[in-house]
Structure 1
């Protein structure tokens, strides 16, 4: 059992249900509650883990992340055609200027993509796993936009091919 599962199981059914309900409320309903921040971090970590396992197991070119993939991709390429998808520069996401540039893009998906502004972990280098050095906090719509573009552009193929190679080597021995 990994640390996330042990933490969740230690909560019990009632507290886990309460945590799930708490995570569904808008962020402005809370102050800086450390317990809530830990729950958000666990949720973001679990999402990252599931996504990385997905791109490791399925050819990313064939993945559909949302019902709006085509719309997200079209709007993203129109607004951010200059963004380096292979290795993201955090300044292109986090500086005040970058946030101003991202805001209209993100807001167009309010009510269209569920939880479009929830916090999500995003890999900086598309060839690498989620690590402390390779991870940045982004909104869910930024994650979707960048990862849909990476999948369609072949940037996540390295992850998929490495896992396939590892499995082939394991079967050969």
Structure 2
């Protein structure tokens, strides 16, 4: 996910598979009208589509593009200075109050997906409904914060889970190795 020459990577997350979704084959290939139509389609409620695989691909493309932008951001800017939302302080405080002992450096799928974890995550996430835009949209989250997105290092999560974990990683210094490794290569 490092720049425009990454169009042939493959990322699987749950039932989503992204292959060649960067700018060559993604939204840019749709043209202005197609991209506008895709954006409109993504704004409609899920019930309007049923099991339309085209919508799943559009969501996958959107999640991939978000992940790519974010990784480039933490590679280019010292993560401790990043503000991801207007509510970073509230998200972080609430996250660390609820998930005091969660190892955010190296997440496990069970930390987010087990039945026990879901029981804790659900009320945490729902407190941000109406406060954080698209709080429950799907996005990609790295399991090992010192590594890039890859099939083995990526999990599908809600946007508020992404914000909570990444805000904590930025504030607690866990994303520094990504920034420092890119900086040392410059």
TM-score band, normalised by the shorter chain? over 0.9
Deviation string, structure 1 residues 71-93 (Cα, Å, up to 9, x no partner): 00000000001100110011010
Q: Distance in 2 between matches of 1:135 and 1:71?
A: 26
- State the 1:165 CA deviation: 0.7
Tell me what 1:45 maps to.
64
Match 1:87 to one of 99, 102, 106: 106
Larger helix percent = 1
**What TM-score does the superposition give when structure 2 sets the normalisation length?**
0.86
Tell me what 1:13 maps to.
32
Q: Distance in 2 between matches of 1:69 and 1:51?
A: 16
Q: Distance in 2 between matches of 1:91 and 1:42?
A: 25
Match 1:143 to one of 162, 174, 184: 162
Tell me what 2:17 maps to.
none
Tell me what 2:53 maps to.
34
- Alignment of 1:107 with 2:107, yes or no, is no
- State the 1:26 CA deviation: 2.1
- The RMSD of aligned alpha carbons is 1.2
Tell me what 1:116 maps to.
135
- State the 1:136 CA deviation: 0.1
Structure 1 residues without counterparts, runs of 5 or longer = 168-173
Q: Distance in 1 between matches of 2:31 and 2:183?
A: 38
Greater mean alpha carbon deviation, residues 135-144 or residues 9-18: 9-18
- Structure with higher Rg: it is 1
Q: Distance in 2 between matches of 1:41 and 1:71?
A: 28
- State the 1:115 CA deviation: 0.2
Greater mean alpha carbon deviation, residues 26-35 or residues 69-78: 26-35
SS in structure 2 opposite 1:5? coil
Q: Distance in 2 between matches of 1:42 and 1:165?
A: 30
